[in-house]
Amino acid sequence: MADNQTPVRRRALSTGFWLIVIFILIAVSLLIFINNRTKTSATSELSSFPPPIDPQVVQDQDEMTWADYHPLPGPNWADPSLKPERGFKLAVVAVDFPNQPFVITRAKGSDPFGNPQIEPISREKVPQFYADFFTRSLPVNHGLDINHYWMWQSRGKFGLTQVDTFGPFEMSKPHWWYGLNEHRQNKYTPDGSVASGRLEKDCDELWIQSAGQDIRKNYDAILRIYAGYDETGVWMEFGQMKFKSKDDIPPEWGNPNPERPRWVPTRYVEWTSWLAGSQQWGLSSMRQGENSGTIAHELGHFAFRLPDLNNNPYVQPYRRAAVGPWDLMDRACFNGPGGPHQRWVVPPIAGGAGPAGLMIRDRMACDFIPDGQLLTLSREGLAKSGLVVAGVTAREVDPLPGSYTGINIRLDGFEPGDRTPFSDPATDPFSSGNPDYNFYSLEVVQRIGFDSFCPDNGVLLAKNKDKLWGNNGGPNAFNSYIWVIDAHPEDINVVDYISPSGEKVMRTIADYRQLNDALFHAGLNSGSQFEYQDEPNRLHFYVVSVDRNQDGILTYTLAIRSLDGTGPQIRGVELTSPSAEIKAAQGLTAVTFSLKNTGQPAEVDPKLHPSDASSHLTSDLYRLEVSINGQGWQAQLPNALASVQFGQTSDITVYVLPSRGAAGEATLMLKATSESQPDKTAEATINLSL
């Protein structure tokens, strides 16, 4: 029996042996594969150039969520214990209608628009709910309220110190009596009457009667919250974005009178649904529907007399927006999660919930910029003083030591004012209109705090007027006392929405989101521009470099020079290569040159500029160019600009990358040219070998 088992045992041993061998071979192969993958990955990482030093990353408003909000470092301007230098008293008066209750009192998601987004509030609590929502930092508004906004924007100079509530009151007329009184809508009433109601008048009569006296004079502003919607937030979404044509509007969205049209005309386009169009438009008042996220914007009007900056993006000839998403008084009051097409949400916790800050011109008008935080230059003075180089910190925080909150350049001189040739806005949608701007401004935007819902970080360049009021002339004129210089003036070519018939509707050239990519960035290959030259106004602007401090706050080094003069300084440059030859790696190799400013400073009259710019006249700016001679070799500069103080030396890094099969040797050359005096150049070469 043992003899009979021996062959079986041998076969079993033989099988086990080969299984072990096969396992070992598989394991070794797997280790080799993993090792090769690791080597390939490492080689891949070393076989590409580093990313840009300041990439432009534009995030569209439609894609934003509350995860995009990033709190500010420093003071908590929402702290109710902080008292502003200038207090503001606000009355909140809430009214509803016989045919339209407060949206917020309905069951969650039960009204035709899909609201409210939260559990209902009882009618008697509505005034206090909205007063708290708009003026106190709460979980429901994610901490972004109008007192918080203005305390931050003013750095404690302005805020709400008293908020009183009144109501709720029921109006004697239906909502459409007040909502159909503008934009050719008056005759679209259910009963054939001509709508002519003005909510403020009837609301205040109820309020005065309830109070027993007229107490309106006791408040700096009155916020009248009415049941329902601002038409500005629903006319598009519940009109042409929802229905194929005005004939496709179903009865529930139409006039209650089935004999009447189910559509009404509206401000920008031919039609919207009757239910959307019968809501009220703001008309420059603080009467606001329950979906309104523009209360901070309205306070800009009432507290500081700031005008609107917005254009009409839907009528032809198209006129480009003035400022777009970068200033509260333009469409930046629509900033917030989901963008402008989410402004129908009740309560307003989507589009419009995170308005952007004010640009330099508006902050100046509000007296929000302390002395010394703004560097003001003269165009004529630049021709005599030479190049100015200065740091600008993100506007969301106070400027870091040695930097500013912004730079202004007055368009003064023998021919004062804007010398830009007139471009007819009837044929040029990019025309800024009448060339009557008075100064340039440079500032930095960072996506933190209320600016979290701006579409990009970077440098914001704009022309500004001394006068806040006055339109820009031509057809479809609008007020534009600020005009942003667009780093990407071409059509952004983004879909606005998909129509009910499935067609892509593109954003018009006048849509404010065309300016989403307007910011300038430092360095090469950023996806944006690092310089802008205004030939008629004889100015050249540069974004030299960018830095982040330990809190992540951005500071950009900016330069401005005149095209008409270089100043009294002596200009010079010297380049030194690191050694006679460099042994390059198979992957990426960093080669560091030394760039020396061999020029000499000169005494400059400190009165040439409105601000004393003496400490910012101590540098020259150099344009860098790199070339490499060798088959299969590439070279790349992270930055085409370098600013170096007189007598100082700066390291310039060039990255070299040989491809597989590249020649064994190459020659790398770096050239530096003074922007102030282009005949001052220097070159340095270095031999490379593998």
List pLDDT tens digits, range 332-356. Answer: 999 999 999 999 999 999 999 999 9
Say yes or no to pLDDT of 553 above 70.
Answer: yes
At residue 408, the pLDDT reads 98
The single residue listed with the structure tokens 């630049």 is 382
Residue 182 or residue 111, greater confidence: 111
Residue pair 100/228 in contact by the 8 Å Cβ criterion: yes
Say yes or no to pLDDT of 26 above 90.
Answer: no
**pLDDT confidence bin for 24, thresholds 50/70/90:** very low
Say yes or no to pLDDT of 658 above 90.
Answer: yes
Give which of 682, 628, 690 is closest to 660, Cα–Cα. Answer: 690
Distance (Å, whole) CA 24 – CA 588? 37
Average pLDDT over residues 106-128: 97
**pLDDT confidence bin for 556, thresholds 50/70/90:** very high
Residue pair 470/479 in contact by the 8 Å Cβ criterion: yes
Lowest model confidence (mean pLDDT) among 13-17, 522-526, 534-538: 13-17
At residue 283, the pLDDT reads 66
Please return the burial class of 134, using the count of CB atoms within 10 Å of its CB with bins 0-12, 13-18 and 19+. buried
The DSSP secondary structure of 207-268, one letter per residue, reads HHHHHTS--GGG-SEEEEEESS-BGGGTTTTTTTTT-SSGGG--GGGS-SSTTS-SEE--SS
Distance (Å, whole) CA 543 – CA 442? 10
Distance (Å, whole) CA 509 – CA 314? 9
Residue pair 385/613 in contact by the 8 Å Cβ criterion: yes
User: What is the percent of the chain with per-residue pLDDT over 90, rounded to a whole number?
Assistant: 88
At residue 499, the pLDDT reads 96
Residue 31 or residue 620, greater confidence: 620
CA distances, 609 to each of 387, 602, 614, 616 (Å): 12, 16, 9, 11
Instruction: Find the helix or strand (DSSP H, E) in which 175 lies.
Output: helix 175-179
Can the peptide bond before residue 500 be classed as cis, meaning omega within 30 degrees of 0?
Answer: no
**pLDDT confidence bin for 39, thresholds 50/70/90:** very low
Determine the residue type at 134: F
Give which of 610, 330, 350, 637 is closest to 480, Cα–Cα. Answer: 330
pTM given for the model: 0.91
**pLDDT confidence bin for 181, thresholds 50/70/90:** confident
At residue 15, the pLDDT reads 46
Q: What is the pLDDT of residues 288-299, one digit of tens each?
A: 999 998 999 999
At residue 376, the pLDDT reads 98
CB atoms within 10 A of CB 454: 29
Q: What is the pLDDT of residues 84-112, one digit of tens each?
A: 999 999 999 999 999 999 999 999 999 99
Instruction: Find the helix or strand (DSSP H, E) in which 295 lies.
Output: helix 295-304
CB atoms within 10 A of CB 664: 12
Residue pair 686/664 in contact by the 8 Å Cβ criterion: no
CB atoms within 10 A of CB 141: 20
Average pLDDT, the chain: 92
The beta strands (E) that lie in 357-493 are given as 374-378, 388-393, 403-404, 406-410, 439-445, 458-464, 482-484
| Encoded tokens for 595 | 């760039």
Say yes or no to pLDDT of 4 above 70.
Answer: no
Say yes or no to pLDDT of 14 above 70.
Answer: no
Instruction: Supply the DSSP symbol for 47.
Output: T
Instruction: Find the helix or strand (DSSP H, E) in which 636 lies.
Output: strand 633-636
Kindly give, in sequence order, each residue whose CB lies less than 8 Å from that of residue 34, ignoring residues fewer than 6 positions away. Answer: none
Q: How far is CA 641 from the centre of its chain?
A: 25
Distance (Å, whole) CA 346 – CA 109? 10
**pLDDT confidence bin for 10, thresholds 50/70/90:** very low
At residue 587, the pLDDT reads 87
Give which of 593, 591, 577, 596 is closest to 644, Cα–Cα. Answer: 596
Helix orientation angle between 295-304 and 146-154, rounded to the nearest 10 degrees:
50
The single residue listed with the structure tokens 């170096």 is 644
Kindly give, in sequence order, each residue whose CB lies less than 8 Å from that of residue 310, ignoring residues fewer than 6 positions away. Answer: 321, 322, 329, 330, 331, 478, 512
Longest dimension (CA), the chain: 121
For residue 369, the SS3 value is coil
Distance (Å, whole) CA 493 – CA 507? 7
At residue 251, the pLDDT reads 97
Average pLDDT over residues 65-71: 97
Instruction: Supply the DSSP symbol for 431.
Output: -
User: What is the percent of the chain with per-residue pLDDT over 70, rounded to a whole number?
Assistant: 93
Distance (Å, whole) CA 111 – CA 130? 19
Q: What is the pLDDT of residues 192-201, one digit of tens each?
A: 999 998 999 9
Instruction: Find the helix or strand (DSSP H, E) in which 2 lies.
Output: helix 2-46
Q: How far is CA 537 from the centre of its chain?
A: 26
Kindly give, in sequence order, each residue whose CB lies less than 8 Å from that of residue 86, ignoring residues fewer than 6 positions away. Answer: 157, 158, 159
At residue 47, the pLDDT reads 65
Say yes or no to pLDDT of 329 above 80.
Answer: yes
Say yes or no to pLDDT of 6 above 50.
Answer: no
Q: What is the pLDDT of residues 266-322, one digit of tens each?
A: 988 999 999 999 999 876 678 899 999 899 999 999 999 999 999 999 999 999 999
Distance (Å, whole) CA 128 – CA 164? 9
Q: In the structure, how many helices (H) and strands (E) does the chain have?
A: 9, 27
Instruction: Supply the DSSP symbol for 97.
Output: B
Average pLDDT over residues 8-14: 38
**pLDDT confidence bin for 586, thresholds 50/70/90:** confident
| Encoded tokens for 462 | 């704009």
Distance (Å, whole) CA 159 – CA 161? 6
Average pLDDT over residues 419-429: 95
Give which of 629, 637, 548 is closest to 590, Cα–Cα. Answer: 637
Neighbouring C-alpha atoms within 13 Å toward the C-beta of 675: 28
CB atoms within 10 A of CB 607: 9
The alpha-helical segments, DSSP class H, found in 567-647 are none
Please return the burial class of 402, using the count of CB atoms within 10 Å of its CB with bins 0-12, 13-18 and 19+. exposed
Residue pair 215/84 in contact by the 8 Å Cβ criterion: no
Q: Is the dihedral of CA 337, 341, 345, 348 positive or negative?
A: positive
| Encoded tokens for 474 | 């031509």
Q: How far is CA 566 from the centre of its chain?
A: 34
**pLDDT confidence bin for 30, thresholds 50/70/90:** very low
Can the peptide bond before residue 347 be classed as cis, meaning omega within 30 degrees of 0?
Answer: yes
Distance (Å, whole) CA 122 – CA 688? 78
At residue 233, the pLDDT reads 95
Cα torsion for 658, 661, 664, 669, to the nearest 10°? -30
Instruction: Find the helix or strand (DSSP H, E) in which 590 lies.
Output: strand 589-596
| Encoded tokens for 476 | 């479809």
